[in-house]
Homo-oligomer: A and B are copies of this chain.
């Protein structure tokens, strides 16, 4: 229930989750794209290009290109804002939600394995 990690646990979890992520999902997303995707699915909408750029402290083209890539993968959808046609609102997709859910499953699963392997410790 808690997430008070000891150093070896934290790194072990990160290590295992990274390995499993590569094996299940592949190396096709950069760390930045991952961050963008997770932010879209975990932070409350609406999301715009400039909002994401500011939040992640990157330039706008980075967001644009990431949306191109992830849009092609079907993980995300762009919609023009009807009320201010300059804006683009980024929407979630079913496929993207499943993708993010899969990432969560990996982490939970690796966390559980790690807990079993270590048992209860001081």
Contacts and interface: CB of A to CB of B under 8 A. Distances in A.
Interface of A: 1-7, 9-15, 17-19, 21-23, 27, 29-32, 34-35, 38-39, 41-42, 56-57, 100-101, 103-105, 107-108, 111-112, 114-115, 120-121
Contact of A104 (B7, B27, B105, B108): B7
Contacts of A7: 101, 104-105, 108
A105 to B, nearest CB: 8
A9 B114 CA distance: 16
Given A3-B114, A114-B3, A56 B9 contact: no
A76 to B, nearest CB: 15
Contact of A15 (B3, B18, B38): B38
A21 to B, nearest CB: 7
Given A13-B107, A19-B56, A108-B10, A115 B31 contact: no
A-B interface, 6 closest residue pairs, ranked by CB to CB distance from nearest: A10-B107, A15-B38, A3-B111, A11-B104, A18-B35, A7-B104
